[in-house]
Amino acid sequence: MTALASPGTLRALAGLRPLLAEIGDAKRVRVAGVPGSLAEQAFARAWARLVAGEDVAAVAESETAAAVARARLAGIDAGVLTTAGLSDAEALDVLRRGFDEVAGPLDPELRARLRAALGPLPAAGPAPALAAALNAQPRAGATAPGKPRVVVEPPESHGDHCLTVAVYAALVAPVVGADPVGPFLLGLGHHLHNVVLPDAGFAGEVLLGNALERVVTTLEERELAALPGPLAGRLREVLALRPGADLPEARAFHAADVLDRVLQVHHHARAAAFTASQALDDLELVHAGPVQGYHLDVLAAAGL
């Protein structure tokens, strides 16, 4: 019997899946004036906050809460709203509405903690070099030993993946009996070796053979050595959880990691199969409003 054998656990994961998919779309959403996807921006900000000495739990909860609100609000955050003339209280109301619209499947206790953590995120100082490198390092995608690589465009970055896994791990943690903080930090840090090592996927790992563990350890320690001592120590603690899935924190991380990898593949499959009728009919691209009739007449006249 596996750790996920109970019907309640299976239902909880199935219930979370649609929300996780929406959160993962932050890898593909951008805003003017700031480089990178929303996920990459959050990845760099989280690392900047951690190296500045901010409490890991505060970073985990506030960044996870922001990711849940982003599922529907995308790049509309507290800073944008107050710049547009809303008061702090009004901006918080908008964030809470976005959060509440999607947060139903979350564990009730975690949902309350995250909702309380919503608000303007602290102004972060400079992120460590590793964050920029992982935001620039593409993921290999699906590879298998002895087979040609399947190339999908555009590739996600390691920053995209690590931030998404961190958030997923925090949200899945109560399902497997874990506290969210450790899995969140492990999600952020589990690809430190890819700061230097380009990603050749599972096929590349197999070809590295017996050298794989030494390569990963050497490059990981290289990045840890450049971080503040207390943060590096905490990271070493959570990174040690990776080899198995016996402990709750490890189960939360591994569940998040595999969910993100497979949801990413589902995204590419959906994108390849997307049709105009889905946009027009299912998503009501020409939505209700005072000029909807005119819009429909234009499309009919144009043969669309």
CB-based burial, 208-218: b 16+ in 10 Å, e otherwise? eeeeeeeebee
- For residue 304, the SS3 value is coil
- What whole-number distance in Å separates Cα of residue 146 and Cα of residue 25? 31
pLDDT at 45: 97
Contacts of 269 (CB under 8 A, 6+ apart): none
pLDDT at 1: 37
Domain boundaries, the chain: 15-130+154-273, 275-304
pLDDT at 3: 57
Q: For residue 166, what are its two tokens?
A: 């961190």
Q: For residue 244, what are its two tokens?
A: 């198995």
pLDDT at 274: 78
Q: For residue 42, what are its two tokens?
A: 């959050």
CA dihedral 139, 142, 147, 150 (to 10 degrees): -80
pLDDT at 2: 53
pLDDT at 122: 86
**Low-confidence spans in the chain with pLDDT less than 70:** 1-5
pTM > 0.85 = yes
> What pLDDT digit, counting tens, does each position of 116-144 carry?
999 999 887 899 999 999 999 999 988 88
pLDDT at 302: 81
Taking phi over 0 as left and psi of -120 to 50 as alpha, with beta for the rest, 123 belongs to beta
- The residue whose two tokens read 């959050």 is 42
